[in-house]
Amino acid sequence: MHAEVIPEPELEFGGGGRHVDPRFGIAGYGPADLSAGDAPRAIRVGLIGPADQLPGLRAWLERCREPIAAKDERYPHLFPGFPGCDIDRGLQTILVFSDRHTRALSDRDLRSITDAPAARGLVTAVDVYAAEITAMAEENRVDVFLVARPPELKDTMAALADSAKEAGLALPQFANFHDMLKARLLRLPQPVQIIRRSTWDEAAAPPPGRSRQDEASRAWNLHTALYYKAGGVPWRLARNTADLTVCYIGVSFYRGGDGDVLDTSVAQVFNALGDGVIVRGGPARISGDDRQPHLTEDDAHNLLLTALDAYRREHRTLPARVVMHKTSSYTSAEIDGFQGAADERYLDTLEMSWITDSEGARLFRPGSAPPLRGTLLALTDRELALYTKGSVDFYSTYPGMYIPHPLGIRPVRPVSSPAGTAAEILALTKMNWNQTRLDGQAPITIRAANQVRAVLRFSDPALAVAARYANYM
């Protein structure tokens, strides 16, 4: 048994500048693709939502061109100010709006959403918004859609379950506006960003059970997400030139809309840029031994071959190293299938790990503060517990609300040292473009695969899926 603290991994920004925190890195150096010719210097934003929201939302976005003050001088690293979003500061881009690219929902459509029972209103809302977005997308004059949802729209499970039963609707399990709308729009090239009124309107209460971040943090998170969805690279993993080219792959499982078939979702996170290609895997089955979903040897083999072929089409070459993270343990059949595919494509290294958030081991520090983020407990070289949420030295505090617990990491055939494996996973928790604070729990491999599965549950399995991760987040 061995315990140590992994140093906070650095990220890379414009001009090769490095920092541990995305916000300080962007403010100091600009986005990672600052010098790239195809970096989005202007992002055309389409606005869709209730007429009474759009002027206020647009006014707030215009306000975000200028700096927004920090929240709390006691924790300047935890709550830094927002530098503004303009061509000469921050992400060094501008958001472009126009009346032509603004669609206000009609009163009739809004009444059909808000006056209907919860389940019927949800289905109607998806239909109405999808129709408006699709019509605007056909003009091909927008890079990203910003969707303001009606505050009265209910998509909590308690409200939907009773309402769906009364209305005779076969609403899929875990139905919600975000996932259902994204699933409907997967064929469109433009990603969608959904925003609640409480994000930009201080007078609007956040949803029950949620707190509101300070204004600067909200501006950071939204603008970073829009920049990534427009094709930009806000930050990348810091890597050495001697490192092998690597492809990160996350694998998770989901049930389709009929609930009868267990399918596989795969999110490839390509190299240090963090961009990915989504691959739909074959059917899985629940094992009678551990009650976890697993693939047959042939399906595991075909899944990795499909992922590697997608990588080759994107980069015109294959990686030297593949790192696979899976949300269930590996059977001998899966190991043989994945390794067979790796050998068939002449990969130098294949590393497989089971990542679980139900790790039973816990560590404690003297005093009341939780363990430091990056604290690693190696029970053996195949049993690791890593705190990806915890106290952060750079913040001088713990940024969370609840007692953190570690991720469980179970390498199959360890190639790297426990510290090396943990450091890479810790760095991958920072590749989340919806969140700029250092409090991500899961690495982007697992996070992306889980977000993909959440959307694919509501998509037609016969249709091709969107290739970009930006269409799911």
Q: What is the CATH number of the domain that holds 122?
A: 3.40.50
- Looking at residue 316, its pLDDT comes to 82
Residues 180, 253: one domain?
Answer: no
What CA–CA distance (Å, rounded) separates 190 from 140? 9
The answer to whether position 22 is within a domain reads: no
Total number of domains constituting the chain = 2
If asked whether residues 287 and 167 sit together in one domain, one would say no
- 268 and 158 together in one domain: no
The reply to whether 248 and 187 lie within a common domain is no
Give a yes or no: residue 433 inside a domain: yes
H helices within 77-233, ranges in order?
Answer: 107-114, 118-137, 157-167, 177-184, 197-200, 215-229
**pLDDT value at position 272?**
62
> Is 147 among the domain residues?
yes
CA dihedral for 101, 102, 108, 113, sign (positive or negative) = positive
Do 272 and 336 lie in a common domain? yes
Question: Are both 206 and 265 inside the same structural domain?
Answer: no
My answer on whether 317 and 373 are in the same domain is yes
Number of residues written out for the chain: 473
- Rounded to 5, what percent of the chain is helix, strand, coil? 30, 20, 45
pLDDT of residue 160: 62
Q: Are residues 451 and 318 in the same domain?
A: yes
Residue 409 located in a structural domain? yes
Residue 9 is assigned to a structural domain of this protein: no
pTM over 0.75: yes
Radius of gyration of the chain (CA): 22
Q: Residues 180, 101: one domain?
A: yes
Is 459 contained in some domain?
yes
In terms of DSSP bridges, do strands 262-270 and 276-280 run parallel, antiparallel, or are they unpaired? antiparallel
CB 13 within 8 A of CB 26: yes
* 188 plus 165 within the same structural domain: yes
Strand order across the beta sheet in which 407-411 lies = 2-5, 375-380, 383-386, 407-411, 349-356, 321-326, 246-255, 262-270, 276-280
Assign residue 226 a region (left: φ > 0; alpha: ψ between -120 and 50; beta: otherwise): alpha
361 plus 448 within the same structural domain: yes
Q: How many Cα neighbours within 13 Å face the side chain of 144?
A: 27
Question: In terms of residue numbers, what domain contains 200?
Answer: 40-229
| Residue whose structure tokens are 């810790």 | 426
Consecutive 10-residue averages of pLDDT for the chain (473 residues): 93 96 97 94 96 95 96 89 96 94 92 84 92 92 94 68 58 81 93 95 85 93 97 91 85 69 72 71 73 88 90 85 94 96 94 90 86 94 94 92 92 92 95 89 91 86 80 91
Domain assignment present for residue 301? The answer is yes
30: in domain: no
Domain at 437, CATH number: 3.30.420.10
Unique residue bearing structure tokens 């083999």: 301
Q: Are residues 217 and 248 in the same domain?
A: no
pLDDT of 158 reads 56
pLDDT of residue 335: 97
Indicate the residue among 168, 197, 229 that finishes a domain.
229
* Cβ-proximal residues to 20 (8 Å cutoff; 6+ apart), any chain: 8, 9, 10, 11, 394, 438
